Chains A and B, each alone.
Chain A
Amino acid sequence: MKALTSLLLGFCLVAIGGAQAATTEVFKPANVDASPDLVISGVAPVARIAPFLQSFAEREGLVVRYTERMTNEVSRLATKEQGGSPDLILSSAMEQQLKLVNDGYAQPYRSDVIRELPEWAQWRDELFAYAFEPIVMVINRDLLAGAELPQSRDQLLQLIRAKGPLVDGKIGMTDIETVGLGYLTWAHDSRQSRTYGQLLETFGNAHLRLYPDSESVLQALLKGEIFIAYNLVGSYAFDFSNRYPWITTVMPADYTSVLMRTALIPKSAQHPEAARRFLDDLLSTSGQARLGEQTGLIPVISEAGSSDTFAFLREKSHGIFRPIPLSLQLLLQTDAEKRRLLLNEWRAAVYPQQKPATDSAP
C-alpha cells in the first residue's frame, strides 16, 4: 500500500496488541509535538484511514490520535462519563451508532457543510454518514474451474451445491456474534432475501468458517483457507481483488446491501470544537474526494469527483442496491430478544451439534 509508506513519517506506533487490543496511532503536523487536540475512536483499520487523518492533521495543524477498536468497545466508550470518551466516533456499525444517538449520548452539530448533506445521510443532526459500503461476496476463481462466476445468491447456492465436498469448510464469513457489521448485514439479509433460509442451511451444511473481522476473511481467502467469502465490506474487497487477479469481488445482482459508515460526537467529548472541524472537513466536497482517493472508501457525496463514487458502483453492477436506511428501523437490530432469536437460528445451523444458546452473546 503506497498510502502506508507515505504516512510513516507522520505517525508513530504506540501500541500493538492481540485481536482484542486497541491499536493507537498519533498523527501530527511537522515540527509539532503536543498532546492530542482530537481523539478519534474508530472501527476502520488504522492503516486504511491513516492517510486521510495525516492530511487532516497537516491541513488544520492539529494533533490527532486515532484508536482502532472492536465495534462493541467503541460504543461502550461513548457512554462513559467525562474523560473516558473520545471526541469522535467513526463506525460502520450503524445500528449501534444510532442507538447511541437515540439514547442521548451524542451531541448535535449543524453547519453549512452539514446542511448540504442529503436527508438520508444524517439523523437528528447528530449522526452523519461519511461513506457508503456495499456488502459483497468475494470468490477465488481457482474454485470455478470453468464454471460460471456466480452473480447472485441463487447462483452462489447452485455453485456450492455443484461443487459439493470441494467447498466443505471453504466458505468464510465474519462471526456475526462478535462482529457488529456481520450481525447487521446478516439481519438485513434475514429481512430482504427469500434465499436467506437456503443460505443459512447451505452454509451450515458446508461447515461455514468464522473470522473475527473482514481483513481476516480476506487473508484466509488469499491463503486458500477458503474459496468463498460472504457479506464482506466492499471497499476492502475491491481493494483486495484489484491486487490479486484470481480473487473476484461480486455485488450480488439479486440485491446488494449498502450500509453507511457514520460519525458522531459523543456528549462527553473533551475537544468537541476539533471534532466539529474534522466533521466539516470529512463531509465537505473536497474532504469526501480526499477520503475516496486516500482510503478507497466510497464517499456519500457523488460530486466528490472520485472514481469510486456511488454512481461508479451503480455502473459496475446490474443489481439492485438495498441501502440500510439511517433511521429508527435500525433500533430493531439492537433489540436483545431479536438478537437472541436470530442467533438461535444461526447457531442451530452453524453449530448443529451444540444446543442453542439461551442468552444473547455480547
Chain B
Amino acid sequence: MSERRGSIRRQMLLMTSMVLVVVGGAALWSAHLYADRAARLSYDRLLRGAALQISENIHMLDGRVVADLPASAFDMLAMAPRDRAFYAIIDSGKRVVTGYSDLPSVPFDTLLEARDREGQFQPTLYDVDYRGEMVRFLGVAKRLIEADNAETVYIVVGQTLKARKALADEVGWFVLQFVALFFVLTLALLMLGIWRVLRPLNRLQHAIAERSPTDLQPLGNDVPREIAPLLDTLNYFMAQLQISLDRLKRFTAEAAHQIRTPLAGLHSQAQNALDEPDPEIRQRQLSHVLECSESLTRTVNQLLQHANLTHRFQSQPRVKVSLRQIATEVCRSLVIWGLDRGVELVYEGDEDVSVTGDAFALEQMIRNLVENAVKYSPAGSLVTLRLTAAGAGAELEVSDQGPGISDEEKPRVFERFYRSRNIDQPGSGLGLSIAREVAQYHGAELELYDNQPQGLVVRVRFNGEAIH
C-alpha cells in the first residue's frame, strides 16, 4: 500500500496549477510593462501638448522674446491633479525668459539636433531629480523670426510622476484582480473536470467492491475509451479465473470418483480375502488386492503430479530450457526399463531447440509420452523419440509400433481418467491429459497420428513464439 504512486487528482491539480501560475505570472508581468508604457505615453502626450501650446504663444517683438503663456497649457498639466509642474523658456543665450531659472540638465545640444526630415524641431524627453522629486521633462526648441532678427528659444516643461504611477498601479491592480479571478475560476473548472474524468474509475471500483467473490461475470462496458483496455483485461482475467475454477471443480469430482471406486473395491476384496478359508484362493485374492493398490498408487501419483504441475504453472517463472537436453535425459533414464520389456528406445535429431517454459513440466510430458509408447509396444518393437526444427517452430514426435488408437477414440484419450477398452495395461488415464496440459501451457499443440504400418505417433508442435 505504501508504494502507491500518489493520486492522479493531485498530480493533475498540481500540474494545472503550475501552468496557471506561470501563465498568470506572465500575464501580470506583461500587464505591468504595458501599464507603465501606457501611463508614460499618455502623460508624455500631456507634456507635449502643454509644450506645444506654450511654444505657439512665443513671439519676437521689437527684437525681444515675448512669451504670453496660455492658460490652456496649465489646464492640460492640471490633468495630473496631484503633480507638481515646472517650466522654463530659455533664449539662445541660455537666459531664462520666464519660468524656473534652475531647471537641471537641459540638453540644449540635443534639442537643437532633434529635427525631423523637414527640419522641424522634435521634442526630447528626459527624467531628472529636481527639488526632491523625480521629474519627467520635455524639451523642444523653436525658431523665432522677426524681420531681420532670428532667435532660437528652448521650451522645457516637466511634471512629477504621481499620476503616471497612480495610473500604472490602477491598471496593474485591475489586471491582478482579473488574473486572480481567472485563476480561481479555472481551478474550480479543472477540479470539476478532473472529478468527471475520474468518475468512471470510481464507479468501476465500486462495482468490483460490491460484487460477491464468486461472481466472475464480465463488468459493464460504459467506460471511456482510455479505460476500456483496463476493463477488457480485467474481464479477461476474470474469465480465466472462471475457467480455472470450473476445471478445478471438475477435476476434484473426477479425482474423488476415481479414488473412491478402487478404494471400495480394495476394501471388499480385502474383506473377502479375510473370510476366504481356501489358502490358494486367498492368495489370489491378496495378490489382486496388491494389484489394485498399485493401480491406486499410480493414480494418486499422477493426480499429485498433475496438481504439482498446475501449481508450477501458476507460480514458477518461465525460463529458457533446452528440449534436446530434456528429451535425451528422459531417453537415458527409460532405456533400461524399455529393454526390460523388450522395447528398444531410439532418439533422433541433431539440432538443439530451446523453448521458454518449465523444464520439470516438459520432462513430465515427454516421460509420460515415452512411457505410454513403451507400455503399449509389443516386445521386440521400436519406440522413436524425434526432435526436429520445423521452420520457425519445432516438433517433438514419439512413435511406437503398438496397437495404435482408433480414429473414434483419438479425441477421447485426452479426457482425464479415460482408458481404452481394449487395453489390458495398468494405467490411470491421466498421462495424455497431463501431457496435453503441459503442451498447452507452452503454446504447443499435441496431435495423434497413425504410424505406418501400425502404431501411434504423438506429435507436439511448438509454434514460433516459444522458440529461441
Instruction: Give the residue name and chain of the A residue nearest to B159 (CB).
Output: A328
Smallest Cβ distance from B423 to chain A, in angstroms?
116
Taking CB atoms, residues of chain B closer than 8 Å to A357 are none
Q: Is the CB of B133 within 8 A of A332?
A: no
The answer to whether the Cβ of B213 comes within 8 Å of any Cβ in the partner chain is: no
The answer to whether the Cβ of A23 comes within 8 Å of any Cβ in the partner chain is: no
Q: Is the CB of B71 within 8 A of A102?
A: no
The answer to whether the Cβ of B131 comes within 8 Å of any Cβ in the partner chain is: yes
Q: Kindly state the separation between the CA atoms of A285 and B82 in the bound complex, as whole angstroms.
A: 25
The answer to whether the Cβ of B66 comes within 8 Å of any Cβ in the partner chain is: yes
Taking CB atoms, residues of chain A closer than 8 Å to B84 are 101-102, 104, 124
Taking CB atoms, residues of chain A closer than 8 Å to B219 are none
The answer to whether the Cβ of B81 comes within 8 Å of any Cβ in the partner chain is: yes
Q: Is the CB of B69 within 8 A of A337?
A: yes
Q: Kindly state the separation between the CA atoms of A202 and B68 in the bound complex, as whole angstroms.
A: 24
Per-residue CB contact flags for chain B residues 81-101 toward chain A (1 = under 8 Å, else 0) read 111111101000000011100
Q: Which of B66, B73, B75, B82 touches A123 (beta carbons < 8 Å)?
A: B82
The answer to whether the Cβ of A193 comes within 8 Å of any Cβ in the partner chain is: no
Taking CB atoms, residues of chain A closer than 8 Å to B391 are none
Taking CB atoms, residues of chain A closer than 8 Å to B73 are 332
Given A329-B71, A329-B74, A329-B75: A104 and B81 interface contact (C-beta under 8 Å): no
Per-residue CB contact flags for chain A residues 322-347 toward chain B (1 = under 8 Å, else 0) read 00010111111001111001000000
Q: Kindly state the separation between the CA atoms of A330 and B73 in the bound complex, as whole angstroms.
A: 11
Q: Is the CB of B78 within 8 A of A327?
A: yes
The answer to whether the Cβ of B67 comes within 8 Å of any Cβ in the partner chain is: yes
The answer to whether the Cβ of A33 comes within 8 Å of any Cβ in the partner chain is: no
Per-residue CB contact flags for chain A residues 306-332 toward chain B (1 = under 8 Å, else 0) read 000000000000000000010111111
Q: Is the CB of A327 within 8 A of B71?
A: no
Q: Kindly state the separation between the CA atoms of A119 and B87 in the bound complex, as whole angstroms.
A: 25
Q: Kindly state the separation between the CA atoms of A35 and B422 in the bound complex, as whole angstroms.
A: 144
Smallest Cβ distance from B456 to chain A, in angstroms?
112
The answer to whether the Cβ of A191 comes within 8 Å of any Cβ in the partner chain is: yes
Q: Kindly state the separation between the CA atoms of A104 and B69 in the bound complex, as whole angstroms.
A: 23
Taking CB atoms, residues of chain B closer than 8 Å to A329 are 71, 74-75, 78
Q: Kindly state the separation between the CA atoms of A295 and B66 in the bound complex, as whole angstroms.
A: 44
Q: Is the CB of A335 within 8 A of B71?
A: no
The answer to whether the Cβ of A103 comes within 8 Å of any Cβ in the partner chain is: yes
Q: Kindly state the separation between the CA atoms of A327 and B81 in the bound complex, as whole angstroms.
A: 7
Q: Is the CB of B132 within 8 A of A335?
A: no
Interface size on B, as a range, is 20 to 34
Q: Which of B66, B74, B81, B83 touches A341 (beta carbons < 8 Å)?
A: B66
Taking CB atoms, residues of chain A closer than 8 Å to B71 are 191, 329, 332
Taking CB atoms, residues of chain A closer than 8 Å to B68 are 337-338, 341
Q: Is the CB of A331 within 8 A of B85?
A: yes
Q: Kindly state the separation between the CA atoms of A331 and B68 in the bound complex, as whole angstroms.
A: 13
Taking CB atoms, residues of chain B closer than 8 Å to A327 are 78, 81
Q: Which of B78, B99, B131, B133 touches A328 (beta carbons < 8 Å)?
A: B78
The answer to whether the Cβ of B366 comes within 8 Å of any Cβ in the partner chain is: no
Q: Which of A101, A104, A337 touches B67 (beta carbons < 8 Å)?
A: A337
Q: Kindly state the separation between the CA atoms of A330 and B86 in the bound complex, as whole angstroms.
A: 12
The answer to whether the Cβ of B77 comes within 8 Å of any Cβ in the partner chain is: yes
Q: Kindly state the separation between the CA atoms of A337 and B64 in the bound complex, as whole angstroms.
A: 12
Q: Kindly state the separation between the CA atoms of A191 and B69 in the bound complex, as whole angstroms.
A: 12
Instruction: Give the residue name and chain of the B residue nearest to A104 (CB).
Output: B131
Q: Kindly state the separation between the CA atoms of A101 and B84 in the bound complex, as whole angstroms.
A: 8
Taking CB atoms, residues of chain A closer than 8 Å to B75 are 329
Q: Which of A104, A191, A331 touches B133 (beta carbons < 8 Å)?
A: A104
Taking CB atoms, residues of chain B closer than 8 Å to A338 are 68-69, 98
Chain A residues 38-87 with CB under 8 Å of chain B are: none
Taking CB atoms, residues of chain A closer than 8 Å to B74 are 328-332
Smallest Cβ distance from A75 to chain B, in angstroms?
16
Per-residue CB contact flags for chain B residues 128-139 toward chain A (1 = under 8 Å, else 0) read 000111000000
Smallest Cβ distance from B43 to chain A, in angstroms?
13
Taking CB atoms, residues of chain B closer than 8 Å to A335 are 69, 98-99
Most B CB contacts (10 A, CB to CB) among A101, A103, A331, A336 go to: A331
Taking CB atoms, residues of chain B closer than 8 Å to A124 are 82, 84
Smallest Cβ distance from B34 to chain A, in angstroms?
28
Taking CB atoms, residues of chain A closer than 8 Å to B99 are 335-336
Q: Is the CB of B66 within 8 A of A337?
A: yes
Taking CB atoms, residues of chain B closer than 8 Å to A101 are 84
Q: Which of B69, B131, B132 touches A332 (beta carbons < 8 Å)?
A: B69
Q: Is the CB of B77 within 8 A of A328?
A: yes
Taking CB atoms, residues of chain A closer than 8 Å to B67 are 337
Most B CB contacts (10 A, CB to CB) among A328, A330, A338 go to: A328
Per-residue CB contact flags for chain B residues 37-72 toward chain A (1 = under 8 Å, else 0) read 000000000000000000000000000001111010
Q: Is the CB of B98 within 8 A of A337?
A: yes
Instruction: Give the residue name and chain of the A residue nearest to B81 (CB).
Output: A327
Q: Could you tell me which A residues sit within 8 Å of B by CB distance?
A: 101-104, 119, 123-124, 191, 325, 327-332, 335-338, 341
Taking A331-B77, A337-B67, A338-B68 as given, write out 13 further A-B residue pairs in contact, using a Cβ cutoff of 8 Å, ordered by the A residue number. Answer: A101-B84, A102-B84, A102-B85, A104-B133, A327-B78, A331-B74, A332-B73, A335-B98, A336-B99, A337-B69, A337-B97, A338-B98, A341-B68
